[in-house]
Structure 1
C-alpha cells in the first residue's frame, strides 16, 4: 500500500558488546534495534540512559544478554572471542568485526548499515566521515613541518598506538615514531620492550590516551632520561580521551582526529612563532 512505512529489515534486537556499533547505529537512526550495550559506552550520551549495560570489553553478563532475546550480538576483535563463543553456543548469532585501519572503520560503517537494511544511509554517513578526514589532511598539508609523534595508550608497561591511531596522526599532520609497532593488531605486541627507545626516536609531541584512566604528563616527563625528548623539553605532552580515539568507530574519525589536528596545529604555531622570533 502506498504511503505505508517500509518494513524493518535485518536484525531487530541487537546487543552491542562494544561502543562503535552503538554509536554507528544511533548515527544511522537505527537505535531502536539496540537492546543492550557495553558498560564502557559513552557515545552518544543518551545511549547510557536508554539501554541496559550488559558487557565490559573482556567479559559479559551472558544470562542478562539471553534474557534480552537478541537476534544479533556485535563485538570487536579476538579479545571478545570467548564472549562470542559462549553466545554462539547459546544460540545467538554473533558478528565479531576485526577492522584495524581508518579504511576499515569507514567500511565497517557501510557493512553495519547494509546488515540492518539501510545501505544508502550508511554509505552517505561513511562518505561524510571520509570527506571530513580529507579536509583535515588537506589542512595538514599546509604545515611547514610535520612533527614526530609518540602515542601511548597505556603506561605500565608502555604500549604504543594501534594502526588506525597512527593513520589518524598522519592525517592530522604528524608522523608516528613507531610505525612498525602500529601495524601489530594485539596490544601485547605493541609493548615497548625498551622505553628508552622513545628517547632515541625523539618525538616532538607525546599524546597519551590511557584506556580508562587519566593521562599523567608529570609521570611521563619524570621517566629516566625522558627530559632529553623534545616533547618533554618543550612541554608538548597532551591527552586525547580514550573514548575519542581508542574505539575503532565514528568517534575516532571525527572528534578523535580533530583533537590530534588541534594538537599538531598548535605545536606548529608555537614552533613557527619561535622560528620567526629567533
Structure 2
C-alpha cells in the first residue's frame, strides 16, 4: 500500500511500466531518477530535458488536459500536484489509473516526494543519491547565506492584474531561505496587488520579476519602478524558485550567483 502527499491511499496492482506526468518539475525528476523509458505522457510545459517533447505524447497543459489522449496511453499511474492541477483533473484521471498527488510547500516536502517516488518506481538508490546531493548543496548554501543581511523583496509572477508571491507557497519558502524578506508575506498564496501601494505595503529593496509564468520585459520593470522608492529590479529564473525535485540540484548554485549580483 502506498500513499501520496495528501495521505490518499494508492492501490498499485502491478509493477509500474507506464507513467503520465502532469507536472513539469516532476517530469524532470522522473528523468533524473532514470525513468525516461517509462514516461509515456507529459504536458506541453514539460520542457526539461529539452528533447522530451519530441519523444513523448503531449496530453495538454497542467490545467487543461486531453483526457481521451491519456486514456489511450493506458498508464499504470498518473502524477499530479495539488497546486498545478485541479480537483476535477484528479477526479477524471482516477477513472483511468491510480493518481499520485504531490503537495509541496517546503524543502522537506520535496525530499519526501523524491522518497515516495523512489518507493513507487523501485528506484530507491537513485532517489537516495538525489536527496543526499540536495542536502549537501542546501547545507553549503546555508553557510554561504548565514551572515548576509536580509533584503526586502517583492516577487512578481503576473501582470494585468499584477500578482505576486505571498505566503504559504514554495516560492516564499525559498525566498525566506535566501534571506529575502517578502513584503507580501502577510498575504496568502498569490495575491493581486495594487502597484501604486507598493511603497505603503513594504517598499522593497529589490523587485524580482520571475521568468514564468509571465514573460516580463524591460517596460514592465520600468512600470513597476515608477511606484517604488529606489528598488532595483532583477529578472530571475522562475524555475529556480518554483520547481522542486531535482531542479534543486541547480537552484542553490543559481542563488549564490544571484546574491553575488546584488551585493
Normalising to structure 2: TM-score of the pair?
A: 0.84
Runs of 4 or more off by more than 6 Å in structure 1?
A: none
Determine which of 10, 26, 29 is the counterpart of 1:24: 29
Q: Which deviations, in whole Å up to 9, do the C-alpha atoms of 1:162-207 show, x marking residues without a partner?
A: 62222222323322222233xx35x4xx222x33442131211111
CA contact (8 A) 1:168 1:257 kept: no
Of the two, which has the highest radius of gyration? 1
In structure 1, what is the equivalent of residue 66 of structure 2?
61
Please state if 1:267 is matched with 2:262.
Answer: yes
SS of residue in 1 equivalent to 2:199: helix
In structure 1, what is the equivalent of residue 237 of structure 2?
241
Determine which of 14, 27, 45 is the counterpart of 2:50: 45
- 1:1-278 maps to which residues of 2 (within 5 A)? 10-77=15-82, 79-89=85-95, 91-143=96-148, 145-161=149-165, 163-181=169-187, 184-185=188-189, 187=190, 190-192=191-193, 194-200=194-200, 201-209=202-210, 211-223=212-224, 226-228=227-229, 230-231=230-231, 236-251=232-247, 253-268=248-263
Greater helix proportion: 1
CA contact (8 A) 1:173 1:261 kept: no
SS of residue in 1 equivalent to 2:115: helix
Distance 1:223 1:265 in 2: 23
Distance 2:259 2:20 in 1: 37
Mark the runs of 5 or more structure 1 residues left unpaired by the alignment. 1-8, 269-278
CA contact (8 A) 1:147 1:264 kept: no
CA contact (8 A) 2:156 2:163 kept: yes
CA contact (8 A) 2:195 2:227 kept: no
Distance 2:125 2:212 in 1: 34
SS of residue in 1 equivalent to 2:79: strand
Mark the runs of 5 or more structure 2 residues left unpaired by the alignment. 1-13
Pair 260,159 (structure 1): closer, same or farther in 2 beyond 3 Å: farther
Comparing 74-83 and 29-38, the one that deviates more = 74-83
SS of residue in 2 equivalent to 1:207: strand
1:37 offset after TM fit, Å? 0.7
Distance 1:77 1:17 in 2: 11
CA contact (8 A) 1:15 1:36 kept: yes
SS of residue in 2 equivalent to 1:59: coil
CA contact (8 A) 2:157 2:213 kept: no
1:223 offset after TM fit, Å? 4.1
SS of residue in 2 equivalent to 1:75: strand
Q: Which deviations, in whole Å up to 9, do the C-alpha atoms of 1:59-81 show, x marking residues without a partner?
A: 11111111111010001115332
